[in-house]
Structure 1
Amino acid sequence: MHDAAEATPTPKSEEELKELVSLARLVAYARENARDLNAEFSAYCLDLALGALLQDLDRSGVSFSHESGQDAYLLGTRH
């Protein structure tokens, strides 16, 4: 069983990072749909999953600046 708080992150390849970003987008989309459907507990669980994915990305050196608007695209914000 893996420890949730690993001391040293494992370096990720470019392909693995792309997969993590894709997964984060998928979870963000599902979270927004759950909110639209008033499925509050599902939205909460998806929010936790998204937070974990963003932490993984952050540990891998991928960051999203609030000023640049990049996180809005990643997090599935709809216009």
Structure 2
Amino acid sequence: MHDVAEATIPPKSDEELKELVSLARLVAYARENAKDLNAEFSAYCLDLALGALLQDLDRSGVSISHESVQDGHLLGTRH
């Protein structure tokens, strides 16, 4: 049933995808800063938020590697 709900989600426009990538960059930056400040719970929550954004992007056809996130670079390409 979960797959059916995902299948009915309309495709995102290029502008919406750019906004999601920008949001993911912001969250990745905040997560790295939280780690540097030893704010472990904040870093954990931001990591969850980043994971959710990456899932949204993946469902929309944008591929971002976890290595690029850890390096602080979010580069997306359409499938």
TM-score by length of 1: 0.77
Aligned to 1:64: 64
Aligned to 1:42: 42
Runs of 4+ residues over 2 Å off in structure 1:
69-72
2:28–2:50 CA contact under 8 A, matched in 1: yes
Residues 48 and 18 from structure 1, CA distance in 2 versus in 1: closer, same or farther, beyond 3 angstroms?
same
**Superposition pairs for residues 13-52 of structure 1, below 5 Å?**
13-52=13-52
Question: C-alpha displacement at 1:42, in angstroms?
Answer: 0.1
| Structure 1, gaps ≥5 residues long | none
Question: C-alpha displacement at 1:64, in angstroms?
Answer: 2.1
Question: C-alpha displacement at 1:36, in angstroms?
Answer: 0.2
Tell which deviates more after alignment, 8-17 or 49-58: 8-17
| Superposed CA RMSD | 2.4
Output the amino acid matched with 1:22.
S
Output the amino acid matched with 2:31.
R
TM-score by length of 2: 0.77
Higher strand proportion (structure 1 or 2): 2
Residues 70 and 43 from structure 1, CA distance in 2 versus in 1: closer, same or farther, beyond 3 angstroms?
closer
